[in-house]
Amino acid sequence: MKLDTGPTIVDVEAARERLDGIARVTPVYPSETFSLLAGRDVYLKAENLQRTGAFKIRGAYNRISTMTGAERAAGVVAASAGNHGQAVAWAARETEVSARVYMPQDSPMAKVDATRTYGAEVELVGEFFDDALAAAREEAEATGATFIHAFEDERVIAGQGTCGLELAEQVPEVKTVIIPVGGGGLAAGCAIALHAANPLIRIVGVQAAACAPFAGATEHGFTIAEGIAVKRPGRLTSAILAEHLEAVVTVTDEEISATLLLLLERAKLVVEGAGAAGLAALLAGKVAGEGSVAVLLSGGNIDPSLLITVMRHGLTYAGRYLVVRTRLPDRPGELIKLLQLVASERVNIVSVEHHREGMAISVTETEVELTLGTRDDAHCGVLLTRMRDWGYEIERIR
């Protein structure tokens, strides 16, 4: 259904009534750790603890619950990078409506499996969200099913806005709110609610640098924040955000990865790439202003295999792993000598690899690659200096 107008605060408040007892009122956690890192009071709105693991249940249920009997009988179709699909599947099951969800081929299996578990049929199509979107629209036109757009729908936007209503009540003193932006449904709905409560509040959107159309990017690449990897902004959401957002900033996958690790380690919160984007922007110094700030952790549906990769990368990025390469005389005792010296610096030796064949080294030498567990970047620097002082030629791999 194409709409010419956006939702109002009245629509958001009506959505809140429909969602009463359906969507969780997710907690807001003040964080001493992140407040110290950011130099201002930081509050985390944990939508990763929402039903289906993300904010999307709010918009999906608000949309499907207002369908007519004839529309329900024809079923629903959706396109999703993962979270919207799960939400549509769950809401359709709760309202006894059949659902089919189209998702990009490389969608995290955790999201694909969850969508199927909630009762929807899942079709994997194309590389990007827009490919799945085109396939879903074709399905809706061919079958008469109702297409549930992830963000370009005023009832979906109104549903997402209930998160903003909660936040305005939970931390009324907050000066800035940071919201991840993909298609813009969450940011649009929350902006309507937040500015109705406080017109002076600053709202900042965050996109992944690899796919940031709201920030003016025209190139689109892979990002671990696949939940906000949308090539083209919505017409309706763009109009709303143009009125309400103070700025849109971008974050790199490295910044997101490091933030995922910090949230897991310090706050004991598991979030996906998109969910960490807002906090990543704050910690990277990309959000201007003073005073308290609330960050929306929009979702927690990260694939376990990706989480392992991100943790390793994040640990390396934070200086917790050091990989070095050096050469040793190929004779007994040389390796153990090196390892004992390294261990004396309170370094954990994770792995040791010998390279003899296929290397441009002397016949009397062997190349050794060490993966070491370190405390931080400063510790890495001290160790590299020590190893060179001991007479080793060191090449840092990462």
Burial of 54 (C-beta count, 10 Å sphere; 0-12/13-18/19+): buried
Would you call 286 a catalytic residue per the annotation?
no
- Per-residue burial over 192-206, b = 16 or more CB atoms within 10 Å of its CB, e = otherwise: bbbbbeeeebbbbbb
Task: Report the alpha-carbon distance of residue 56 to residue 50 in Å, rounded.
Answer: 9
- Per-residue burial over 144-162, b = 16 or more CB atoms within 10 Å of its CB, e = otherwise: ebbbbbbbbbbbbbbbbbb
Catalytic one of 31, 65, 80, 298: 298
Phi, psi of 29 (to 5 degrees): -110, 120
DSSP string across 323-391: EEEEEEESSTTHHHHHHHHHHTTT-EEEEEEEE-TTSS--TTEEEEEEEEE-SSHHHHHHHHHHHHHTT
Within 144-272, where are the H helices?
A: 154-170, 185-197, 235-244, 253-262
Residue 394, classed as helix, strand or coil, is coil
Strand order in the sheet with 395-396: 348-355, 365-373, 321-329, 395-396
Catalytic one of 31, 45, 56, 80: 56
What is each CA distance from 104 to 20, 79, 260, in whole angstroms?
32, 9, 23
Task: Report the alpha-carbon distance of residue 37 to residue 283 in Å, rounded.
Answer: 7
Amino acid (one-letter) located at 287 = V
Would you call 298 a catalytic residue per the annotation?
yes
Sign of the alpha-carbon dihedral angle for 102, 149, 113, 120: negative
367: nearest Cα among 339, 393, 337: 393
Can you state the percent helix, strand and coil of the chain, rounding each to 5? 45, 20, 35
Sign of the alpha-carbon dihedral angle for 42, 181, 55, 17: positive
> Would you please indicate which residues are annotated as catalytic (active-site) residues?
56, 298
